[in-house]
């Protein structure tokens, strides 16, 4: 039996920090409201000329360095993003060239905030099927580019960043299971209503922003993530107490706390970066993971549960023996 093992992680956040106090200056909000309702204190924002691929490159280089892998070792690149540099080529192909990797398959995955879990599942399945041996999996976003900075219901929530992992084929577990779901009937609760095929152009720019019915999304996220936690444990024949670490999507501290309670996990066993990063969409899970690996909290042999929920709706989880 072949598994994929995570052998290196990396993360990157742009230099510029936007605090809640900064937001108070140009949008009708308050630090108190944002912290109480979301747990967010600040977020990082990409520089004017900094793109998703720029962030992805830094995170990928760090993950490859941690994995002690060079360009020639990588035989698959899967990159999750909602905010690609260009319509095409894919950001994965742009990243491939930056890293001087040639010839292997490279493609983007689009599942908004669940993007990294989707990308991880795709790469894991490639490795399990024997179609790849060493995969670079990235979640990278410049979500600030699709925010309406006049809409206090959305602009205070998101930030930019990138996270990456390197997966390698191994006889030892490994990613134990991944679980992916979607239901397009809920598209309009959380979406950017504009798009290429609808005649996206500069005149329409005003529409190319995130729109969200936050309260309805919140309720769906809590219920759906609760269900996927049960599904993941049942599939693996594990109990809640078998999970050492929860690495959740970082959308809202209240959602994270709800899932931790459901798992009966103390908050010390939950990786929480939402206060400093905000919601970085596809980058949030790998950024949180990288932070906890690098500061020594997560150790080899521990059992990790990743989960995410996002636009689509999409949702997913991964259970990992690290």
Q: Applying CB under 6 A, which residues contact ligand ACO?
A: 29, 33-34, 37-38, 112-113, 152-153, 156-157, 190, 214-215, 217-218, 221, 251-252, 255, 279, 281, 309-311
CA dihedral (168, 173, 175, 179) positive or negative: positive
| Nearest residue (CB) to ligand ACO, 46 versus 169 | 46
Strands 190-191 and 211-212: antiparallel
Helix axes 253-263, 214-236, angle to 10 degrees: 30
198, 158 contact by CB (below 8 A): no
H or E, element range at 128: helix 115-128
Residue 302 CA, chain-centre distance (Å), reads: 21
255: phi then psi, degrees, rounded to nearest 5: -70, -45
| Nearest residue (CB) to ligand ACO, 289 versus 313 | 313
| Nearest residue (CB) to ligand ACO, 59 versus 221 | 221
Residues 257 and 206: their CA atoms lie apart, in Å, by: 35
Strands 134-141 and 245-248: unpaired
As measured in angstroms, the least distance from the Cβ of 247 to ligand ACO is 15
Among 83, 86, 84, 81, smallest CA distance to 119 is for 81
As measured in angstroms, the least distance from the Cβ of 151 to ligand ACO is 9
| Nearest residue (CB) to ligand ACO, 59 versus 192 | 192
As measured in angstroms, the least distance from the Cβ of 280 to ligand ACO is 10
As measured in angstroms, the least distance from the Cβ of 242 to ligand ACO is 26
Residues 120 and 116: their CA atoms lie apart, in Å, by: 6
Q: Is 93 a catalytic residue?
A: no
Residues 281 and 89: their CA atoms lie apart, in Å, by: 21
Q: Spot the catalytic one: 155, 249, 252, 277.
A: 249
Q: Is 113 a catalytic residue?
A: yes
As measured in angstroms, the least distance from the Cβ of 270 to ligand ACO is 16
| Nearest residue (CB) to ligand ACO, 88 versus 149 | 149
Q: Spot the catalytic one: 53, 113, 134, 155.
A: 113
Distances (CA, A) of 113 to 36, 140, 307: 22, 10, 10
Residues 48 and 278: their CA atoms lie apart, in Å, by: 19
Q: Is 104 a catalytic residue?
A: no
As measured in angstroms, the least distance from the Cβ of 229 to ligand ACO is 15
| Nearest residue (CB) to ligand ACO, 109 versus 255 | 255
Secondary structure E strands in the chain: 3-12, 17-19, 42-44, 76-80, 105-109, 134-141, 161-170, 175-182, 190-191, 211-212, 245-248, 303-310, 314-321
Known catalytic residues are 113, 249, 279
């Amino acid at each position: 039996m072949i598994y994929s093992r995570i052998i290196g992680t990396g993360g990157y956040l742009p230099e510029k920090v936007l605090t809640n106090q900064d937001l108070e200056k140009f949008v009708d909000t308050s630090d108190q409201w944002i912290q109480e309702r979301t747990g967010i204190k600040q977020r990082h924002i990409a520089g004017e000329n900094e793109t998703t691929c720029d962030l992805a490159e830094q995170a990928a280089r760090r993950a490859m360095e941690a994995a002690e892998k060079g360009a020639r070792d990588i035989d698959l690149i899967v990159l999750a993003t909602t905010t690609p540099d260009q319509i095409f080529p894919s950001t994965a192909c742009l990243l491939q060239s930056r890293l001087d990797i040639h010839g292997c398959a490279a493609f983007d995955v689009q599942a908004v905030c669940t993007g990294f879990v989707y990308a991880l599942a795709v790469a894991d399945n490639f490795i399990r099927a024997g179609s790849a041996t060493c995969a670079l999996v990235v979640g990278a976003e410049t979500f600030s580019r699709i925010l309406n900075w006049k809409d206090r219901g959305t602009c205070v929530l998101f930030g930019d960043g990138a996270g990456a992992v390197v997966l390698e084929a191994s006889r030892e577990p490994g990613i134990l299971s991944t679980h992916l779901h979607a239901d397009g009937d809920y598209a309009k609760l959380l979406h950017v209503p504009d798009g290429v095929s609808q005649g996206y152009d500069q005149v329409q720019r005003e529409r190319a922003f995130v729109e969200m019915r936050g309260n309805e999304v919140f309720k769906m996220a809590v219920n759906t993530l609760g269900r996927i936690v049960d599904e993941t444990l049942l599939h693996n024949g594990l109990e809640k107490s078998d999970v050492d670490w929860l690495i959740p999507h970082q959308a809202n501290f209240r959602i994270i706390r709800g899932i931790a309670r459901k798992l009966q996990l103390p908050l010390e066993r939950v990786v929480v970066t939402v206060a400093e990063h905000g919601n970085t969409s596809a980058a949030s899970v790998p950024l949180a993971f990288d932070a906890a690996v690098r500061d020594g909290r997560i150790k080899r042999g521990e059992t990790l549960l990743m989960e995410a929920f996002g636009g689509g709706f999409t949702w997913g989880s991964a259970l990992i023996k690290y």
